[in-house]
Each structure stands twice: as structure tokens, then as C-alpha cells.
Structure 1
């Protein structure tokens, strides 16, 4: 970096003993050349297509629930079929610009995907369930209608520090009804949400696919199944103008909802 600054006769970085930050000139240079590095990386990735084997690296940005329940469950068999593909899955419950951050794919509900993206469904319609442990219901009673949730202890999912899911929705008489529940416990981790529900610490509201095993075993019980809110499928999405490697094409086919694994 010193050699570059000397050649350009321009300071590119502000340096202290604790940190570095770009100068105005350094920031401008970065903004100009960063897309070039992205193009180089993409072109290098395409070289993998000239070999006989499917190989390369794929980066996926996804919220926690679909990452675990919709992607990881299929990634295991995908890697068994294509062992020379490296997969990086980064959990992010907030919206991300996958192009700017260098991801090959993002995962979000169809309504949250920009119209200029290609979207591929990787789930069916998603039912949301209010669930609780039998122990909790024995101690606190079972609410008979959704509005009674306001007098119960509720475990609330959070997307981030500023956005929590405490407006629970129910489909009744052809309309969506919302109930603002008390946040007795709040987590931005489905693992902690489900664990605390299993421990009898409150009721929670999660996608059916996230609690299907616990409902089948009786470890959790569903309340208000007849008024479940149903949401659009989760989609794998990507920019249409980016070259898709053999590895990317293989992953799209592997994750599509039509595929039976």
C-alpha cells in the first residue's frame, strides 16, 4: 500500500496505531476498482465449467429458519453428489444486498424479492403455528381465542435489534387478524425460541416446518390450527445477468421444491 501511495503521490489510507480508514481518494479508488475485482472473480469461477466435474464455491445469504430447514437438509445430499463444490451459508435475518455483498444467492419470501431478480420456490406455502409445551398449558391454561394471547407469556422471534415479530397474525373469516402479544422472552435465534418453548417458558409463533417434528412427537402442541396464517413460499433468488456456473445450476435444481430428495 505504501508503494502504491508513493507511485500515485496520493494518500489512500488514514492510519493510527489502532485502526485504518480510507481517505476520500482511497474511497473513490475502491469504489472504482471493486466492481472490477468482482468481475475477475466471476470470470475465474466460469473456468470451472471447462472441466468434467462440477466444482467451485457458492455463497448463500439466508434467514435462519430456511437456512436450517429448507437448505441444509438438502445441502447434505447435494455435497454427497457434488463433493468438489464448496458452499458458504451466512445467516442474516435482515434484508441484504446480495450483489453488493458478493453472494450467488439469497433466500427470502417471494414478496420480499426485488422484481429484477430471478426467483425459484424452495418451499410450499408456509403455515405459521402457535405452539406451547404441554407443561405450560397445564400450568397456565390454554387460550380459547387468539385475543387471549395478551394474557399469556409469549416467546417472540426478532429479526434484529429493532424489528421483532410481536404482531401475530391469524386468518379468520377471510381476513387477517393481528394480535399484539407481550414479549416475555425475545430471541433472534429459532433454536433458543424453540428450546424455551419446549422448556415450558411460554407460547411462540413459528413456521410449521420448524416445529413439525415436535408436534408429531407431542413435545409441542399447536393452538389455533384452524386459523393459521399462510404465507407465500420461500424463494432462492439471484440476479439474471450473472453467469451461472455448473455448480450454481446444479444447486438451483437441487433446491427446487419439485425435487424429491
Structure 2
């Protein structure tokens, strides 16, 4: 039966992830020769080559990639179930891995989770800062954080923040040299600071809304960043107009270092949600984290 090869399948996954027999053998605590023997045994049993081996690299074949597509979520599910069995005690314990953007991590996750950790020393939190919208299943995360409108339909979503708001801002020095835009269309005449989207590689179109009318503006300018802090600094230095989360610019606006424009086109929108697969069997530690993050 192929079930006799479950441990070999786990070794195959490790070799594929590590791209190295040496690193995979360290991960499993067995010799490299023993690990290679296990892989050959699995390939012989299946009658198909799963790995392409070179002197410098190891990579899954087409058949191996197909197997990994089913294997990774299956082993992840088994691992979570075994973790859950080990957590059937009074105090929640275990590691919860969450993929999130930097803004959500600093403004929502850390302020709330910081209060939990001191009361539950056996709970461990790993936050992976990634604006590329990682796949929580294939990348083996317990949950992810996204804006409400970006959630996938087969996920359970828990709201963890209030509504959010964007803002168009520029420095007083910039507006001494350029007129204040009155409409979204006026942005085409301005030096706007663009944001490169990590997921698609494209430039973010500024999403503006007024009284239910939505407008996406493809802005242009001398500067492009993929980091909000750099966009903010460039705007403060007079480098152009920026489109940022409202909380990032509030202090600078109140201090007179930035001027907010097109405010009537920046309406609130759905805030951050924690999302996870509907088939996930939550552990005690995971339930604790979800409850701590839930927006009230």
C-alpha cells in the first residue's frame, strides 16, 4: 500500500522545499545517504521520477510538482491535527503563523497580541511581513490578514480592525510649486509617488470614491516605491503627492508638514480581516489568537 510510504512522502516534501538533500537530512536528523535511499525507494514504488538532481540543485519534476500540490495541504492538515491533540490541556500552547502586511502588523496585530503573550507563555506567534498576499494553505500559514474586499470565498473571515481610510497628501513646499487638485482627473497634471505591487508587479492605481462613485486613477511621477515609509518620507521632502493610509499621515498633517487634498474623494472602506481555511480545525491557541484580534 502507498500508505506505507507516508514518511517517505514527508521526506520528499522536505527535499523539494529545501532544494537540497543535505539540508533535508539535517531537518529529519538522518544521514544524507539514508535520505537518498528513502527517496529512491519512493520513486521505485511509484514508478515515476519525482526529483531532478544536479550537482548544484535538486528540484521537483513535473510529476513531483503535481504530487506536491496535493501533498503540502494534506501533510499540513495532519500536522495541525496532531498539534491539536497535543494541546488538549488547560493552557493553550503551540505556534501560530500569520502572513500579514507591515501596516496591519504594526497597527492591529502587535498591539493586540502583545497583551496575550504575557498571559500565555506557551503560545508562540510568528508574523511574516509580506505584502504579496501569500497563499496560507500552500505556504503553511495558520491564517492571513487582508482587506475585506480581497478575501477569497472559501475562507472564514474575522474582522479585526475598524474601517480604514486613505488620504492624498503633499508637502506645503510642493503646493507652493503646484496647484491643489480639485478632482481625481487633476492628478494627471501632478508628480505622484507610485507604489509597486509586490503580488502582480504592477503599479497601484489610486482608488478614490465619492457618494458611491468609484474612480481608479493611474498616476505618474518620478518616484516609485514598494514601501509606505519611503512614500511618506518622499512626500514630506516635497517629492510629490502620496496616497497613504490615513493613520500614517495624521501626525504630519496636524503638524503642518503635509497638506491633505481630495478629502471628499477618500471615503472609509472595509478594514482588515483575519482569514483562514474553512476546513481548518482550530487549536486552543488559534482560538485564543482569533478572539484577541476580533474587532469589537
Q: TM-score range by the shorter chain?
A: 0.7 to 0.9
Q: What CA deviation, in whole Å up to 9, does each residue of 1:155-204 have, x standing for no partner?
A: 11222262221x32333354223433213211111121112122221111
**Structure 1 portions without partners, runs of 5+:** none
* Greater fraction helix: 2
C-alpha contact 2:73 2:138 (8 A) present in aligned 1: no
- The residue that corresponds to 2:167 in the other structure is 129
RMSD between superposed Cα atoms in Å: 2.5
Aligned counterparts of 1:94 and 1:106: Cα–Cα separation in 2: 11
Query: Where does residue 111 of structure 1 map in the other structure?
Result: 149
How many angstroms apart in 2 are the aligned matches of 1:51 and 1:31? 33
Matches of 1:247 and 1:134, distance apart in 2? 49
Change (3 A) 1:78 1:212: farther
Partner of 1:142: 180
Out of 216, 236, 255, which is 2:254 matched to? 216
Gap change, CA 1:81 and 1:200, over 3 Å in 2? farther
Where does structure 2 lack aligned partners over 5 or more consecutive residues? 1-34
Structure 1 position 191 matched with structure 2 position 229: yes
Q: Larger relative contact order (C-alpha < 8 A, sep ≥ 6)?
A: 1
Taking the aligned partners of 1:94 and 1:36, their CA distance within structure 2 comes to 24
1:3 paired with 2:41, answer: no
- 8 Å contact kept, 1:215–1:221: yes
Of the candidates 83, 101, 104, which is equivalent to residue 66 of structure 1? Answer: 104
Per-residue CA distance 1:211-259 (angstroms, 9 max, x = gap)? 233333333221121221332222111112211112111111111121x
Alignment partner of 1:91 is 2:129: yes
Map of 1:256 onto structure 2: 294
Compute the displacement of 1:36 (Å): 4.4
Q: Which has the larger radius of gyration?
A: 2
Q: For 1:92-145, what per-residue CA distance to the aligned partner results, in whole angstroms no more than 9, with x for missing partners?
A: 323432112211111112222122211111122221110122232234343333
**Deviation of the 1:46 alpha carbon:** 0.9
